[in-house]
């Protein structure tokens, strides 16, 4: 008898607290047949054979909406405010490099590498072109935006020196206090990887610059840099897809020093 009373009390309290909160939407009453759970951001309801059924998002993902997100209507939690006012129901299932089965995570020892995790399968990724992994945006970003990792390994040898950029004859990195900046030699000069400055060609690797566009291979080095900044578009002609901070410095700084 006592335990029955107790169950009743719990039921009443549960009912009252449910009443004071938002009411769970019924997936069978909406056109999409799918609705988010009212309490947990990693759960959703689907109408199956006329009945609401509760589903969990893949571990590490949260509900974004039908046909949205990265898989099964679920998305990385940091891509939007999916979890505002909600909790995650499921704890992380971690693997060696992944906190959750699905996600994008920083590298344990490197600022230029990171891990992508898909159902527990780990893939090591690399930031290229002077970029570092930004834990906040979960993507490669300019060193200025990456707290704790500002000094790029490119500039380890000399925090204020120049560094060749791949096989490029006219572009190079100029380190400024450990921050790499993309630079371009003034017209008709080429970057000399021995003296690390712009010189009159020819050099060991570079002939007189032609007016032909640079080889495709060189452009590809910049393909995975952030692309959501409107400034990038202005620069597109000369420096495709470059994030902010990559603007070439005025030509006077570019002149070879003698
Ligand atoms: C995820 O991995 C598990 C175990 O390796 C496997 O059984 C399952 O089918 C996978 N799920 C998806 C959606 O690939």
Q: Is residue 55 part of a domain?
A: yes
- State in Å: Cα 111 to ligand 1 middle: 30
pLDDT in tens, 181-202: 788 999 899 999 999 999 999 9
79 & 159 share domain: no
- State in Å: Cα 58 to ligand 1 middle: 10
pLDDT of residue 175: 84
CB 134 within 8 A of CB 146: yes
Helix (H) or strand (E) holding 190: strand 190-192
Would you give the end-to-end CA distance of the chain in angstroms? 96
Q: Which of 50-64, 89-103, 171-185 has the lowest mean pLDDT?
A: 171-185
The residues, ordered by sequence, that sit 6+ positions from 91 with a Cβ below 8 Å of its Cβ are none
- State in Å: Cα 120 to ligand 1 middle: 8
How many structural domains does the chain have? Answer: 2
pLDDT in tens, 211-241: 555 554 444 344 333 433 333 333 333 333 3
- State in Å: Cα 112 to ligand 1 middle: 29
84 & 174 share domain: no
The residues, ordered by sequence, that sit 6+ positions from 248 with a Cβ below 8 Å of its Cβ are 182, 183, 184, 238, 239, 254
What is the side-by-side strand order in the sheet with 121-126? 103-106, 113-118, 121-126
pLDDT of residue 15: 46
Q: Is residue 107 part of a domain?
A: no
Structural domain that includes position 50: 23-88
- State in Å: Cα 103 to ligand 1 middle: 15
- State in Å: Cα 60 to ligand 1 middle: 14
Q: Is residue 125 part of a domain?
A: no
- State in Å: Cα 77 to ligand 1 middle: 20
Q: Is residue 228 part of a domain?
A: yes
Both tokens of residue 177? 């206090």
Compute the distance between CA of residue 126 and CA of residue 103 in angstroms, rounded to an integer: 16
Which of 90, 86, 84, 33 has the alpha carbon at shortest distance from 59? Answer: 90
Q: Out of 70, 88, 106, pick the residue that ends a domain.
A: 88
Q: Is residue 114 part of a domain?
A: no
Q: Is residue 36 part of a domain?
A: yes
CB 152 within 8 A of CB 180: yes
Both tokens of residue 62? 């949260």
Q: Out of 88, 112, 138, pick the residue that ends a domain.
A: 88
Helix segments in the chain, DSSP class H: 2-20, 216-220, 230-235, 251-254
pLDDT at position 160 over 50 = yes
The residues, ordered by sequence, that sit 6+ positions from 234 with a Cβ below 8 Å of its Cβ are none
Q: Is residue 246 part of a domain?
A: yes
Backbone angles phi, psi at 41, to 5 degrees: -80, -15
pLDDT, the chain, mean: 77
Which of 249, 247, 248, 245 has the alpha carbon at shortest distance from 134? Answer: 245
**CATH number (domain holding residue 28):** 2.170.140
- State in Å: Cα 101 to ligand 1 middle: 10
Q: Is residue 84 part of a domain?
A: yes
What residues are paired with 43 via a beta bridge?
Answer: 56
Both tokens of residue 257? 């020093």
- State in Å: Cα 80 to ligand 1 middle: 25
pLDDT at position 251 over 70 = no
- State in Å: Cα 119 to ligand 1 middle: 6
72 & 165 share domain: no
Compute the distance between CA of residue 127 and CA of residue 222 in angstroms, rounded to an integer: 10
- State in Å: Cα 230 to ligand 1 middle: 39
pLDDT in tens, 12-39: 444 444 444 679 999 999 999 999 999 9
For residue 202, cis peptide bond before it (omega within 30 degrees of 0): yes
Handedness of CA 152, 156, 162, 167 (dihedral sign): negative
């Amino acid at each position: 008898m006592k335990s029955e009373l107790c169950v009743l009390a719990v039921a009443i309290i549960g009912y009252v607290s449910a009443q004071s909160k938002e009411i769970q939407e019924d997936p069978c009453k909406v056109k999409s047949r799918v609705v988010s759970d009212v309490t947990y951001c990693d759960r959703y309801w689907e109408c199956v054979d006329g009945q609401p059924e509760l589903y969990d998002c893949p571990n590490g993902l949260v509900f974004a909406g039908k046909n949205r997100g990265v898989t099964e209507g679920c998305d990385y939690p940091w891509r939007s405010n999916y979890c505002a006012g909600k909790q995650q129901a499921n704890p992380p299932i971690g693997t060696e490099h992944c906190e959750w089965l699905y996600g994008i995570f920083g590298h344990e020892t490197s600022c230029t590498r990171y891990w992508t995790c898909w159902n527990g399968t780990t893939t090591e990724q690399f930031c290229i072109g002077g970029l570092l992994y930004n834990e906040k945006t979960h993507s490669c970003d300019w060193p200025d935006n990456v707290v704790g990792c500002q000094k790029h390994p490119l500039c380890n040898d000399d925090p204020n020196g120049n560094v060749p950029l791949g096989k490029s004859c006219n572009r190079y990195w100029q380190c400024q206090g450990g921050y790499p900046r993309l630079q371009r030699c003034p017209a008709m000069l080429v970057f000399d990887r021995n003296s690390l400055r712009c010189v009159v060609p020819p050099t060991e690797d570079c002939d007189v610059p032609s007016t032909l566009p640079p080889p495709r291979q060189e452009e590809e080095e910049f393909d995975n840099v952030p692309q959501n900044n409107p400034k990038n578009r202005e620069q597109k002609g000369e420096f495709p897809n470059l994030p902010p901070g990559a603007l070439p410095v005025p030509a006077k700084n570019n002149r070879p020093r003698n």
